[in-house]
Amino acid sequence: MLEICALFCSFFALIPFDLTTECQQVHTALEEKIPGYVWNIREIGDGNINYIYLADAKEKKVLLKKALDYARINPEKFPLPIERLFFEYKAYTLYQGSCPERIPEIYFYDQGHGILAMQYLAPHVILRKGLLAGVKYPDLAEHLGTFLGKSLYLTSCYHLSETEWCANADLFSKNVAMRNIIESLNFTDPFFGSTLNWWTSPELDAQVLEIQNDPKVQAIVQALKDKFLTFPEALCHGDLHTGSILTTENDTRVIDTEFAYYAPISFDIGMLLANFITAALAAKAHGIESNWLFCLAEDTWNSFEKTFRGLWKNPQLSVDDKLQEIWSDTLRLIGIEIIRRTIGVAHNADFESIADRNLKVSIEQRALSLARKLILEAEKLVPNAKAFEILLKAG
Ligand code: SR1
Ligand code: MG
């Protein structure tokens, strides 16, 4: 009897933990590509778009991303092509050439099953969770500023030959579905209205109306949207918020590159700094210090600028002029990202996990007013050590 029981148990130990069709496909792909292990597979993700699995064999762990033909956040509203994973894989491939130390190792891409397998990073946590828990990462600004400088400059039209740059821009221009999401969710819906938008109502209603009825705000956002769609300056991650970064105290890795697109250099920087500022604005509600988070934004910019200047070798264009343009657009994009995370469809835990409604409202009101100011007055702020402090006071 004991023997039968042991046989029964060992038989089931060979079968993955979760037997959904998707999980079964993950299991099949793994057995094909990395044979010789007994994989225990479980779903561990909670993102907006894909399913994430941890495959755990005794001696080996692999993280697998499985794309379905819709976004998990809302299958009916967001049908999505599985090919987004191809662009994610291609973006990792370019990052492998420009800044390999800041991404996970990629093991395989299985186009047929829509699966991307990569290094399981442990004990890494999603940066957003770490920041909201008050963890201070001593190397984070330097890691991310360097990542921005290297990944953006080394894939740009200022560095690559025209042939290479055109080939890259052409390839990523086919990531149309993801570009359309950015176009709608970041640049259109929050500023021009959409039934998908939601916010803390009625408290924020007046501010939302003010933003959506301000022709100056709309003209600036429209201009940035046009620039995003028509200026393939460098490879942008496309979704570089604090949920797309894994950290330990001394390591930082950028993940989730499925929105990758050739776009203006400022796009990634604006989104990332906006998410630091969002965390800073929410800090009080989470019982954490805000100043370090504002400094994180400032230090990340400084590290980006230093890296970018160091790499710049373009005699026809002044690096100062280019950085000035990137800076002003970055500020406007910070404003755009803060607004879309407060009144668009996809919000962040920074604000949404605040239980005290009055406190949440006051933080969101401050965020909206700061963001609007950034969009309208970006020209007035010069990139110096005090810029983010001024921002804080202005908000
Ligand atoms: C339909 S996807 C919603 C959001 O999730 C991603 O992380 C992007 O930020 C996108 O806007
Ligand atoms: Mg993501």
Tell me the per-residue pLDDT of 9-36, one tens digit each, with 9 for 90 and over: 333 334 334 447 888 899 999 999 999 9
What separation in Å is there between the alpha carbon of 304 and the centre of ligand 2? 22
Tell me the per-residue pLDDT of 160-172, one tens digit each, with 9 for 90 and over: 999 999 999 999 9
CB 82 within 8 A of CB 98: no
Please state, in angstroms and rounded to a whole number, the distance separating the CA atoms of residues 305 and 82: 36
Q: How would residue 314 be classed by pLDDT, with cut points 50, 70 and 90?
A: confident
Over range 281-290, report the average pLDDT: 96
Report which of 263, 285, 311, 246 is spatially closest to residue 363, judged by C-alpha positions.
285
pLDDT at residue 77 in the model: 86
Please state, in angstroms and rounded to a whole number, the distance separating the CA atoms of residues 291 and 308: 26
Please state, in angstroms and rounded to a whole number, the distance separating the CA atoms of residues 275 and 281: 10
Over range 335-355, report the average pLDDT: 98
Nearest ligand 1 atom to the CA of 185 is 11
Instruction: Name the residue with the closest Cα to ligand 1, atom 5.
Output: 48
Q: Is 385's pLDDT higher than 80? A: no
Q: Is 8's pLDDT higher than 70? A: no
What separation in Å is there between the alpha carbon of 48 and the centre of ligand 1? 6
CB 104 within 8 A of CB 255: yes
Over range 238-251, report the average pLDDT: 98
DSSP 8-state code for residue 105: P
What value does the mean pLDDT of the chain take?
92
Give the number of the ligand closest to the Cα of residue 239: 1
Tell me the per-residue pLDDT of 114-157, one tens digit each, with 9 for 90 and over: 999 999 999 999 999 999 999 999 999 999 999 999 999 999 99
Q: How would residue 383 be classed by pLDDT, with cut points 50, 70 and 90?
A: low
pLDDT at residue 3 in the model: 36
346 lines ligand 1 (CB under 6 A): yes
pLDDT at residue 208 in the model: 98
Over range 301-308, report the average pLDDT: 97
> Coil, strand or helix: which one is 52?
strand
pLDDT at residue 282 in the model: 97
Over range 80-98, report the average pLDDT: 97
Structural domains present in the chain: 2-119 (3.30.200.20), 125-394 (3.90.1200.10)
Q: Is 274's pLDDT higher than 80? A: yes
Dihedral class, residue 337 (left if φ above 0, else alpha if ψ from -120 to 50, else beta): alpha
Over range 96-108, report the average pLDDT: 98
pTM of the model: 0.92
Please state, in angstroms and rounded to a whole number, the distance separating the CA atoms of residues 203 and 357: 10
